[in-house]
Structure 1
Amino acid sequence: MLGAATILAACTSTAKSGASKVGTDSEPLECPFAALGPLSEVHWLGVVRGTDSRVSVPGPADVRVVGLAKLRAGGATAIVGASQRDFQPATPSRLPETLAQFMPKSAKWVRSESFDREVTGGTYDGAFYFDPGTDRVYFDTTNPSTAASSDP
């Protein structure tokens, strides 16, 4: 629970500062995304949804955590190679403009809804795209929580 509070606190402060500040600290992502293994070269945003409207409703806010990271050598191949996961070619959508510069230019992204469910445990929305050629992952999640994540 503490891990979820940390990531949401980090995301909220990023969002309040204009949502254009790209985070490079991997620590807030390590617990919710433990199934990915160690992360490096991290670039992510935490965006509080609904803060751009004129009318706001008091109460909890949804936080979109989106970004890219490099996995350990061979990490993407190991994840994608698991036969029960059925990875298929897919292109990440809704990429924030501030993260576009960090996307690998010739990436061949794949995604598995089965893997998405494995990581999120069905408790939050999340999509994970992998490029085995560069060992990169692109993640797009809402309210990621530690409790649902799997160990590597």
Structure 2
Amino acid sequence: MGDGIVVARGFADAPRTAVGALLLLILITGCGTGAGSGGSGGGRVSADGPSRSAEQSPPVEVRRDRGPVLRRFPQLGNITGVEWASAPLGSGSSRVPGPTDFRLSGVATLAEADVRRLQAEYHWVPGQASPAVLEVIAPKVPAGTSWQMSEGFTSAVTGDVYTATFGLDPATGVMVFDAVNPTVADGA
């Protein structure tokens, strides 16, 4: 009879032991599935640190709708055409909720009247090179242009709240823009 009690206690402890072993297994395997860990997360390690897998970051698409650009940069005036893209910065993490920084780059064609207005309202100086943009926008930036930059225009657009670069080619009416976390303008 004493053996029956020991056996019964062994069976009674079995569910707790199994649950504990299962939790330990989940903890151990959960630590090895993130990007760059060598687990099955699909990430890879580079000199810059872990990168996001294709499953985690959607491809950056080039868009042509004017609304989002004009809500952020109403100072551009009448845009007759635009190609732009937005991409999150950094790898982000589902473990740490919160806002994600993003970069917005594009090429806009301005109406002639707005090119003249911008030239009259702001002091423009020759730029060293075209503004850096997202990789998908780079082929859209016209080559061989004489980019003009204006600190006053940049400050008017950003309100000195976020960073951005704007390059204007007055001859073609093309404005190249690149901004990090551009906010929607008041009243837009």
TM-score, length-scaled by structure 1:
0.75
**Percent of aligned pairs with the same residue?**
30
Superposed CA offset, 1:9-40 (max 9, x none): xxxxxx94212x11111111112111110213
Alignment of 1:68 with 2:107, yes or no, is yes
Equivalent residue for 1:40?
Answer: 80
Offset of 1:122 from its aligned partner? 1.4
Alignment of 1:115 with 2:156, yes or no, is no
Pick from 156, 163, 166 the counterpart of residue 128 of structure 1: 166
Superposed CA offset, 1:63-120 (max 9, x none): 11111010012422321233xx321111234333322222223211011111100111
User: Aligned pair count?
Assistant: 132
Offset of 1:130 from its aligned partner? 0.3
CA RMSD after TM alignment: 2.5
Instruction: Give, in whole Å, the separation in 2 of the partners of 1:126 and 1:35.
Output: 14
Structure of greater Rg: 2
Higher relative contact order (CA 8 A, sep 6+): 1
Pick from 121, 131, 144 the counterpart of residue 182 of structure 2: 144
Which aligned pairs between 1:9-24 and structure 2 lie closer than 5 A?
16-19=57-60, 21-24=61-64
Equivalent residue for 1:81?
Answer: 120
Alignment of 1:102 with 2:143, yes or no, is no
Instruction: Give, in whole Å, the separation in 2 of the partners of 1:97 and 1:143.
Output: 17
Give the 3-state SS of the residue equivalent to 1:104 in structure 2: coil
Equivalent residue for 1:4?
Answer: none
Instruction: Give, in whole Å, the separation in 2 of the partners of 1:56 and 1:37.
Output: 41
TM-score, length-scaled by structure 2:
0.62
Amino acid at match of 1:44: W
Give the 3-state SS of the residue equivalent to 2:175 in structure 1: strand
